């Protein structure tokens, strides 16, 4: 029977192989449910502005129910062995991989990113499930040499308890599994609140988790729109049954959640905004730097927190780098994400578009030179032309704030010290990129940059095997790699006495 809350408009081109993946309800305690109030909110395709789904607009009581379901499921889940949990996670991984085309189509419909990029993200998302299915078995403790002959001391690692995961719209699947997979593998249960712009990918992943055999209540998904998100967030942060808040999103919301979580002293894992520097030294291979610049700036239309935000180019190679970069940028294809050849989709919403407009106007008013783009795209809606600005100075908004759009501002520098000073002159510290063929400089600059991820002669660094997170106001904690499961574990020392 067709579901009246799901529209087929987003999937005209290619119907889904498994229509069941498109859910129109939230998941609580293993049951697909509406909001108690009956309220709904719209999910919109950013490429067409058409409504593709109406989902439960949940509030405080629904959230309490989800937390209670997670708490109830917790005692059985944590009592299972890591191997048993790993087997279920591995089944989930297999299903995600098997349904990658459907999951990518859903993501493109709600997020806008080109289909090929969406498929890449689905596999990236799957990789976290695979990795943590194994890593859960390796949450080793310690045996500590005793400080007294009648005692022995061991250190255990135990699941922290109910986790609230709040995820953003720019990676609608990747951020879900980067949080849920380690949490579940560690023995925690989860209440997931996906972003209001992109909840369908999260629900599809949850449907596959159900199909994999995850017990009811182990993974719950609360959907909510812009009106009730603060209420839901408040409940997640203040409810004493929740032991950890794991959030990826803006620094402003991250600070707000951390303040709220302080009341019950919840652990927090925060991956927040960034303003990644991209430094091109005069000894760099410029073709490598140009290809990496395009990748690191324009993936997801520039809407990721690890995207390069500020380009610093050494004066002697500035003009040639700019010329080559503009040539490459002109090859990008702005089109709806489900059209063949699309490499740049729409921005997520009007606010995002207005921010990009404001940044580009400010830069031009303060003397920046437009080398490419610089305006809304002829396709209308929230499409924006890939833009390159030259003669940018660090007082402009494009350097002071996160643009979160397809805009590359090029700043000139003379010395290595000057580049490092400008690169670090930000409250953020998530990622940094630089290009050099000098080995000593590579080490020096890598050590000097104040950020959690540094890529040398590369435009990306994402993998399930590595820790990602921020220095300074870019966050707390790390996700990915063997470090990524630590945030879901409590450490307990056990002292055994009376051993005479």
Residue 196 in the binding site for ligand ADP (CB under 6 A): yes
Euclidean distance between CA atoms 289 and 234, whole angstroms:
44
Nearer to ligand ADP, 384 or 435 (CB): 384
| Nearest alpha carbon to residue 294 among 186, 214, 372 | 372
Tokens of 31: 């049951």
Cα separations in angstroms, 82 against 57, 141, 310, 318:
35, 14, 43, 53
Among 55, 122, 253, 372, binds ligand ADP (CB under 6 A): 253
Q: Which stretch binds ligand ADP (CB under 6 A): 113-121, 153-161, 192-200, 388-396?
A: 192-200
The sign of the torsion formed by the CA atoms of 247, 251, 253, 255 equals: positive
Tokens of 203: 């629900």
Min CB(91)–ligand ADP separation in Å: 27
Min CB(374)–ligand ADP separation in Å: 23
Min CB(196)–ligand ADP separation in Å: 5
Min CB(199)–ligand ADP separation in Å: 9
Go through 41-80 and write b for each residue having 16 or more CB atoms within 10 A of its CB, e for each that does not: bebbbbbbeeebbbbbbbbbebbebbbbbbbebbeebbee
DSSP β-bridge partners for residue 468 = 479
- Do residues 126 and 177 touch, judged by C-beta distance below 8 A? yes
Residue 249 in the binding site for ligand ADP (CB under 6 A): yes
Site string for ligand ADP, 280-319 (x = CB under 6 A): ----------------------------------------
Residue 167 in the binding site for ligand ADP (CB under 6 A): yes
Min CB(229)–ligand ADP separation in Å: 5
Residue 402 in the binding site for ligand ADP (CB under 6 A): no
**How many Cα atoms within 13 Å fall on the side-chain side of residue 58?**
35
Min CB(413)–ligand ADP separation in Å: 29
Site size for ligand ADP, by CB under 6 A? Answer: 13
Residue 69 in the binding site for ligand ADP (CB under 6 A): no
Cite the active site residues: 271, 305
Residue 195 in the binding site for ligand ADP (CB under 6 A): yes
Q: Which stretch binds ligand ADP (CB under 6 A): 161-169, 323-331, 421-429, 452-460?
A: 161-169
> Between the CA atoms of 413, 415, 418 and 424, what dihedral angle is there, to the nearest 10 degrees?
90
- Please identify the residue of the shown chain whose CB is closest to the bound ligand ADP: 233
Among 155, 230, 262, 491, binds ligand ADP (CB under 6 A): 230
Euclidean distance between CA atoms 288 and 328, whole angstroms:
12
Nearer to ligand ADP, 6 or 237 (CB): 237
Tokens of 65: 């129910």
Among 78, 80, 90, 256, binds ligand ADP (CB under 6 A): 256
Sequence-separated (6 or more) residues with CB below 8 Å from residue 176: 125, 165, 167, 192, 194, 201, 202, 205
DSSP β-bridge partners for residue 32 = 27
Site string for ligand ADP, 461-500 (x = CB under 6 A): ----------------------------------------
Sequence-separated (6 or more) residues with CB below 8 Å from residue 13: 338
Q: What is the DSSP letter of 382?
A: T
Q: Which helix (H) or strand (E) holds 248?
A: strand 242-248
Min CB(446)–ligand ADP separation in Å: 28
Min CB(128)–ligand ADP separation in Å: 18
Reduced to 3 states, what is the DSSP secondary structure of residue 267?
Answer: strand
Among 46, 182, 233, 477, binds ligand ADP (CB under 6 A): 233
Tokens of 24: 């129109």
Residue 337 in the binding site for ligand ADP (CB under 6 A): no
Residue 430 in the binding site for ligand ADP (CB under 6 A): no
The contact set with ligand ADP (CB under 6 A) reads: 166-168, 193, 195-196, 229-230, 233, 249-250, 253, 256
């Amino acid at each position: 029977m067709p579901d009246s809350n799901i529209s087929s408009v987003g999937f005209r081109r290619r119907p889904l192989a498994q229509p069941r993946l498109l859910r129109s309800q939230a998941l609580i305690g293993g049951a697909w449910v509406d909001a108690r109030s009956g309220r709904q909110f719209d999910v919109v395709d950013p490429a067409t502005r058409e409504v593709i789904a109406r989902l439960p607009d949940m509030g405080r009581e629904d959230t309490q129910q989800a937390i209670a379901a997670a708490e109830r499921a917790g005692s059985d889940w944590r009592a299972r062995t890591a191997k048993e949990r790993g087997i279920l996670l591995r089944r989930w991984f297999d299903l995600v991989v098997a349904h990658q085309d459907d999951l990518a189509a859903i993501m493109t419909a709600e997020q806008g990113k080109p289909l090929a990029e969406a498929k890449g993200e689905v596999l990236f998302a799957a990789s976290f499930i695979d990795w943590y299915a194994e890593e859960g078995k390796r949450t080793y403790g310690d045996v500590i040499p005793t400080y007294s002959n009648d005692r022995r001391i061991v250190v255990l690692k135990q699941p922290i308890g109910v986790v609230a995961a709040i995820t953003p719209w720019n990676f609608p699947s990747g951020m879900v599994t980067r949080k849920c997979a380690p949490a579940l593998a560690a023995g925690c249960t989860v209440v997931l609140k996906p972003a209001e712009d992109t909840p369908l990918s999260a629900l599809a992943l949850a449907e596959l988790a159900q199909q994999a055999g995850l017990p009811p209540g182990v993974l719950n998904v609360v959907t909510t729109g812009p009106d009730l998100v603060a209420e839901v967030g408040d409940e997640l942060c203040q409810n004493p049954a929740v032991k950890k808040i794991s959030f990826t999103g803006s620094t402003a919301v991250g600070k707000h959640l951390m303040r709220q979580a302080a009341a019950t002293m919840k652990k927090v894992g925060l991956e927040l905004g960034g303003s990644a520097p991209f430094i091109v030294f005069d000894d760099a291979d410029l073709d490598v730097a140009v290809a990496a610049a395009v990748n690191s700036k324009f993936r997801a239309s520039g809407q990721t927190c690890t995207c390069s935000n500020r380009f610093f180019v050494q004066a002697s190679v500035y003009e040639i780098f700019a010329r080559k970069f503009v040539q490459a940028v002109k090859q990008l294809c702005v089109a709806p994400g489900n059209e063949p050849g699309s490499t740049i989709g729409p921005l997520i919403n009007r606010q995002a578009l207005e921010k990009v407009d404001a940044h580009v106007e400010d830069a031009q008013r303060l003397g920046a030179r437009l080398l490419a783009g610089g305006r809304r795209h002829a396709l209308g809606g929230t499409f924006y032309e890939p833009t390159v600005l030259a003669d940018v100075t660090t007082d402009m908004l494009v350097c002071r704030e996160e643009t979160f759009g397809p805009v590359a501002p090029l700043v000139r520098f003379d010395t290595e010290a000057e580049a490092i000073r400008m690169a670090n002159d930000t409250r953020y510290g998530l990622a940094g990129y630089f290009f050099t063929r000098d080995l000593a400089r590579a080490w020096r600059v890598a050590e000097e940059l104040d950020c959690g991820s540094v890529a040398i002669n590369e435009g990306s660094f994402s993998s399930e095997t590595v820790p990602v997170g921020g220095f300074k106001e870019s966050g707390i904690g790390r996700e990915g790699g063997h470090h990524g499961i630590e945030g879901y574990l409590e450490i307990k020392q056990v002292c055994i006495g009376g051993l005479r």
